[in-house]
Amino acid sequence: MMLTPSITAVARVAHLSSDAVVDSPSVFSSYWKSFSRESANVTIIPHGSDPTQTLLRLGTTSLSSYTTTSSPSLIRLLPHVSELSSRPIVFHIAAQGDLADALVLREVAGNDDKIEEVAEDKVKPFIFAEKHPRTPSKAAGRPQSPIARPHSPSPARPYSPSPARPYSPSPTRPYSPVPRYANGHSNGHPNGFANGHSRKGSDTDGRHSSRPATPTTPPIFAIPVNPVTTALLEGYEAAALATLALTRRSQLALAQHGSNEPHTVIFGLGQTNLDFNIDGVAYVDVSLLSPLPSPRILGAIRPSARHVIVLEQIEKWTTKWTPLFLDIVSVLQHRDSEDRPAVRSAYLGDTSGLQSEDVATFLESTTTSRPSTRTPLGGLFSSLSTEVPHVPKHESSYTSILSHLFGERLEIPNSPSLVPSQGEFATSPEFALGRVRGALEERNELVNAVLELLQDPKLPQETHSLLSRWVLVKDDAAKGQQIGDQVVAALQDYISHPAATRILSLREHFRVKSRWIIGSDAWSYDLGASGIHHTIVSGLNLNTLILDTLPYTARNSSDHSRRKTDIGLYAMNYGGVFVASVAIYSSYAQVLQALVEADKFDGPSVVLAYLPYTTEDSTALDLLKETKLAVDSGYWPLYRWDPSKEAAGKEPFSLDSDAIKNDLQAFLDRQNHLSQLVRAKPVLAAELVTSLGETVQAERRRRAQQAYADLLSGIDAPPLLVLYSSDGGAAEKKAKRLAGRAQARGLSTTIATLDTMDLDAVSHEEHVLFVTSTAGQGEPPQNGRKFFKLLNAAIATGAKPLEKLKYSVFGMGDSHYWPRPEDAHYYNRPGKELDAKLSALGGERIAELSLGDDQDADGAETGYKVWEPLVWKALGVDSIEVHEAEPEPITNEHIKAASAYLRGTIAEGLEDTSTGALAASDTQLTKFHGIYQQDDRDIRDEREAQGVEPAYAFMIRVRLPAGVCTPAQWLAMDQIADEHGSGNFKLTTRQTFQFHGVIKKHLKPSIQAINRALLDTLAACGDVNRNVLCSSIPSLSNLHAQVYAFAKGVSEHLLPRTTAYHEIWLDKKLVAGEALKDFEPLYGEFYLPRKFKIAVAVPPTNDVDVFANDVGYIAIVNERGELDGFNVTAGGGMGVTHGSKKTYPRTGSIFGFVTPEQGQIVAEKIMLVQKENGNRADRKNARLKYTIDRMGLDVFKAEVEKLLGFRFQPARPFTFDRNIDDFGWQTGEDGKHHFTCFIENGRVQDEPGRDFKTALREIAKVHKGEFRLTANQHLIISNIATPDLPEIKRLLAHYKLDNLDFTALRLSSSACVAFPTCGLAMAESERYLPLLIDKVEKICEENGLRNDSIVMRMTGCPNGCARPYVAEVAFVGKAPGAYMMLLGGGYYGQRLNKIYRESVTEPEILAILKPMIKHYALERLDGERFGDFVIRAGYISPVTEGKAWYEGMGGEGPYREIVA
């Protein structure tokens, strides 16, 4: 069947009206393959694959379409029609002559579904079946304008890709069996017809129409009406009216024409085209088969009618009566018996070339024939003359071998060559299996006939001998055929016996056939319902050759939701099946051997044949390369499994892969070597073969003796106490390693934090080693401050309580953290003070104070390596050699690998009410679920003094791709903040919601409430792709819709597939216990080395800071304002570690241009290269930016292109001019209005004079559009219709949310959360930046810069959540009240800033900025931005690349900072 204009029209309708399209390989496929997929996700399933599971995976809230021409595809759907009928799915079926395949769906699904015929002159008909949910409240489902069926030729209008006009159904009118026309008459004439002549109706413009010509007063019958059916029909008629308005083509459910007082009514279903004016004959063309209420049918049959002929284009029907025939017979039961016409069923064939005489003859024959006779009208459709399906040329590699091996014996039951004679079912495995079963039964019948004939005493001796010999060799291919031919010749003259007659009629079965069903790997996706399963369980002597064409290099690029099953393993587990795995481009001999053995095997055989090609243009060399990769890697093993050998006492499995055999041989060689050693040295034999039980017992005895020895030595060994204080964990790790090494040297060692001890306890210790790090401005860490206070108090008394104490101190710090001479005393201050105070209290040093400096080559390890040997020498254990390897530290990689795909012990931890926290390892896993464990740092000291644990609570981050949410979702977030959080929530720099203060018992209810709002938190944090950003661009509505859909698609595509999230938080149970394991097709069990961030920017606004993300997409828009594609950037990232120059920020590098269709897979491949090459040993150097710099940009890009299979196009020109939001009112190109609110630092809360949380809640109650969160932490109230403007403006004004009278500096500012909830914060940020801006904006106003934007950002730590490193001026927290100051970032995020001062306090900030801002106001160039000015004026040098970030830090020339 060819791709015709009508098929193209149907496909176009399916595309425009559907959110997803599924296609079984059909005439539609060529359209889908050539069509640009802009608004629908098109899935073409493999040939022969069951479409049911693909259809069931589609969503239940959006319309989907299924296109096919294949009868086998429809047959596979029949068992699932009831399940599919509850989903909004439209079936588009290209029927070839016979409508039976489509109509059978109606019989199975029932009458709640709508089946409509769509046709075009001289084009084969289509059946358009629109599925609706089976609920009375939604009986009409989602309306879709049907395609009109013209009854007179009219030129089709050319298709224009302009946007479709919106569909607005007209109000339905009360039902009347007479169509309404002008003035209540059929055609506007008072007598019903002009001049009293009967004619077809006409439209108001005089064009020919198929409207009926009927009198104005029809008979009325009392017929019960189903309200659901009526509602469905009214919905259809409304859609038909809309279609008429758009196309000027009517599409009535019943189109009537012909005689006004007929004696015969012909109901035509199919391609009727009966326009013959025959007296007394009326025609009713049925376009809508279901729902078709009885009153409509009865109204079409005039009382004068004595005969009703149901003319249906149904050739093959399994029951006696057809569906429309039964409907009409049932309807006529409502008439009196004397007025009831006779009903006849007839077959509608090909009516082309039909004359009125033919119709008259047909009428006479029908009315005079027996009621059960189906009289045909027109010739039979040549439905069996189907085109032979195309067989790819590469498959001849195997079919040629079959022909060569078996010659005339070869029979392929599903050969495409059978299609012209048997129909399209001929290639289906079920059809082939039936043919084979029938042939084998006939052969058994032949054998039985031969045995019966052998019992005939009159049989000639020679013939008897031939028959006996054939029975003995009937299964021998050569001899059986030879003797069979002789038998046939002998029986030609002896046919008096009935058995001889049967033998001659079955003569073709004397030959032993080699039957091969040839299929594809599509069967491996649904084994339980596929032909391979039926073949295996049949037990028939039948061979199956399955061609797997998936190239090895493309094995990970297929649909991850459709997992293939190993057919070979499936068949071997079933048993009694010969199985072989072959590859013709690897071992030709093995292919021959496998095929011959399969043919000889008496039973089912399955041969898996590898033939990796993508298109028919793939060369033999390409196939050879792919095969070699697959076979050598073990992906495609070569083997044979013959169960018949096992019965003979032989090994049934034969491994034919050389690569695997070589590995196995190496293993066996090692085993043989051990055997030789055993024979040469019998003592070794005992060690090799000692039983496990004896070994375990001996090990237990050894460990008991060792424990006793350790006890004795511990009594004599000096006790050692190791005390530490640590905030970030580095000092804690050092202390624990020190304690472990002390135990290995026989010391009785205890370890604890400083604050767990008091002076009295320490005074009773003999040897104490102290390890401490430095926090803030030379302050002790949080868990050591109480101990320092105790030391200060003891010194104040003048007592010396520690005279018996022998101690040593190791301090850890960063000599560059406080670079100015006046701040040098902050370096390692806690360690220095601890050592001095212990000495002042009478303690005796056993080793001098040692300081670890992060600036050393090995960091703190340099100083530690000097200090530790001195400690062992002082304790007298320096001569003890320790050979036992130290345990490997547990890292995030270990936690992820052992987490069972992010489960860990989270579920158990939630049930533990003894603490408000989760286990430390689980807190690393909850990040993947969008949850961070925190505590209130404002009251941490207070709670510690009370002896209770910190006030643990959790932060929850929502996954909200592109930051778009509905008013209902906003209200849900507002309620969650009140019921489960701290009463407010945060709009983050990743365009999403963030809740703080959620205690443990509220975690699960919070997540469940978020999911009820149709949102989730999965992958909002963790080592995966996080929330995808997208420019808000309210003025470009159509473009935003495109980039929003793209961003959402990328987010969904890169989402983890683990079911742990649903099990833990939504109480979903793991299917079948643990029989089915989780599967992460992209991430694997280790996930990514570090977090991964993606953003989509639309020039000229870079509001998402696209260059600060791991992957960025810069939208390229053509002159028509349409999306052409994206420039792709990679390698951006903000995180830094103070004092570690191996860490630095980086802006993304431009890779090149890709189309929208390529964009999603590009993100996947970049992420996969990072997954395989990222630094998992050091999380501080694990981000993509370091991977690119380590590998080299060109090398990394080449790896990505290798996975993609194509190269990036050259980048296209673009321009950015800002990265801040456009506040206030804007009107989009679609006429909708948008208002951008200023939400300072994204905190949505009620405070005096600014009840923003209440304001937005009230707005969400009346708003009909959407909310868009910006990456600058502000909010856009979007898509406000003009009639709704007054109310929105009133609410904005009432709550003062429309106030934008702020300085440009404040509008351009941004800050992260920091204190009190963030555990990484070193200084204030969100709470402090507004206060700092109060003072800086006064400087700006003094210099006339109130309305001049300067991008200022602040973070409480160097991790860069507010993207400070691309701001014009930024402050990064180092200690409470102290910040690192950076200058020179690009105004639109195109350039990194640089460290100007390493530590400044507020007075220093103001002292620096006051003259600098004045200088800028006086000497700036026209349009020059502050970040550009400070570079031109010589304050700071520009950053050329991330790796050079530290070059020139501290200022330039006279502005350079003097460092120690």
Q: What is the 3-state secondary structure (H, E, C) of 371-396?
A: CCCCEEECECCCCCCCCCCCCCHHHH
Of 176, 225, 179, the C-alpha closest to 334 is: 225
Mean pLDDT in residue range 1213-1225: 93
* CA within 13 Å, CB half, 1449: 22
Question: Is the model more confident about 190 or about 1024?
Answer: 1024
Distance, in Å, from the CA atom of 1218 to the CA atom of 1427, rounded to the nearest integer, reads 12
Residue 879 has pLDDT above 50, yes or no: yes
**Cis peptide before 1100, with omega less than 30 degrees from 0?**
yes
Tokens 């036992």, residue? 884
How confident is the model over 597-617, as pLDDT tens digits? 999 998 999 999 998 887 777
* Spatial contact of 1267 and 1275, defined as CB atoms under 8 Å apart: yes
Distance, in Å, from the CA atom of 281 to the CA atom of 364, rounded to the nearest integer, reads 12
Distance, in Å, from the CA atom of 949 to the CA atom of 264, rounded to the nearest integer, reads 92
Calculate helix-pair angle for 100-109, 323-332, nearest 10 degrees: 50
Mean pLDDT in residue range 322-334: 84
What is the set of active-site residues? 957, 1026, 1091, 1093, 1312, 1318, 1357, 1361
| 340 conformational bin, left if phi > 0, alpha if psi -120 to 50, beta if neither | beta
Of 1439, 1441, 786, 519, the C-alpha closest to 1449 is: 1439
pLDDT band at 427 (very low <50, low <70, confident <90, very high): confident
* Spatial contact of 1138 and 1374, defined as CB atoms under 8 Å apart: yes
How many other C-beta atoms can be found within 10 angstroms of the C-beta atom of residue 340?
16
Least confident of 146-160, 509-523, 1353-1367: 146-160
Residue 1384 has pLDDT above 80, yes or no: yes
Determine the pLDDT at residue 108. Answer: 59
Both tokens of residue 706? 């060792």
Both tokens of residue 891? 């890292």
Both tokens of residue 1369? 């001026």
Determine the pLDDT at residue 1065. Answer: 94
| Residue 676: partners with Cβ closer than 8 Å, 6 or more residues away | none
Determine the pLDDT at residue 475. Answer: 82
DSSP letter (8 states) at residue 475: T
Distance, in Å, from the CA atom of 482 to the CA atom of 44, rounded to the nearest integer, reads 49
Mean pLDDT in residue range 450-454: 86
Q: What is the pTM of this model?
A: 0.56
Q: pLDDT above 90 covers what percent of the chain?
A: 40
Determine the pLDDT at residue 1035. Answer: 79
Residue 1458 has pLDDT above 60, yes or no: no
How confident is the model over 1280-1304, as pLDDT tens digits? 999 999 999 999 999 999 999 999 9
Distance, in Å, from the CA atom of 18 to the CA atom of 144, rounded to the nearest integer, reads 10
Residue 273 has pLDDT above 90, yes or no: no
pLDDT band at 696 (very low <50, low <70, confident <90, very high): low
Residue 207 has pLDDT above 90, yes or no: no
For 582-650, the DSSP string reads: EETTT-HHHHHHHHHHHHHSSS-EEEEEE---SSTT--HHHHHHHHHHHHHHTSS--EEE-HHHHHTTS
pLDDT band at 332 (very low <50, low <70, confident <90, very high): confident
Residue 206 has pLDDT above 50, yes or no: no
Q: What is the dihedral of CA 1238, 1240, 1241, 1243, to 10 degrees?
A: -100
Determine the pLDDT at residue 67. Answer: 87
How confident is the model over 800-843, as pLDDT tens digits? 999 999 999 999 998 888 777 778 888 999 999 999 999 999 99
Distance, in Å, from the CA atom of 125 to the CA atom of 123, rounded to the nearest integer, reads 6
Determine the pLDDT at residue 677. Answer: 55
How confident is the model over 208-250, as pLDDT tens digits? 333 343 434 444 445 666 777 777 788 888 888 887 787 777 7
Distance, in Å, from the CA atom of 117 to the CA atom of 126, rounded to the nearest integer, reads 6
Distance, in Å, from the CA atom of 830 to the CA atom of 851, rounded to the nearest integer, reads 11
Distance, in Å, from the CA atom of 288 to the CA atom of 118, rounded to the nearest integer, reads 9
Distance, in Å, from the CA atom of 1330 to the CA atom of 663, rounded to the nearest integer, reads 68
How confident is the model over 365-421, as pLDDT tens digits? 888 888 778 888 887 765 444 566 667 788 888 888 998 888 888 888 888 788 777
* Spatial contact of 160 and 182, defined as CB atoms under 8 Å apart: no
How confident is the model over 837-860, as pLDDT tens digits? 999 999 999 999 999 998 888 888
Distance, in Å, from the CA atom of 1274 to the CA atom of 1308, rounded to the nearest integer, reads 11
Least confident of 230-234, 493-497, 552-556, 668-672: 668-672
Both tokens of residue 791? 């030391």
Least confident of 758-762, 1027-1031, 1400-1404: 758-762
Which residue stretches of 1054-1142 are H helix?
1060-1066
Which residue stretches of 930-1057 are H helix?
940-946, 967-980, 1003-1012, 1037-1053
Residue 199 has pLDDT above 70, yes or no: no
Question: Is the model more confident about 904 or about 162?
Answer: 904
For 317-359, the DSSP string reads: -SSSS-HHHHHHHHHHTTS-GGGPPEEEEEEE-B-TT--HHHH
Helix (DSSP H) and strand (DSSP E) numbers for the chain: 46, 48
pLDDT band at 1104 (very low <50, low <70, confident <90, very high): very high
Which residue stretches of 115-220 are H helix?
none
Determine the pLDDT at residue 865. Answer: 92
Residue 971 has pLDDT above 80, yes or no: yes
Tell me the average pLDDT of the chain: 82
What are residue 350's phi and psi, to 5 degrees? -80, 110
Determine the pLDDT at residue 562. Answer: 53
- β strands within 392-441, DSSP E: 410-411
* Spatial contact of 1107 and 1151, defined as CB atoms under 8 Å apart: no
**Cis peptide before 25, with omega less than 30 degrees from 0?**
no
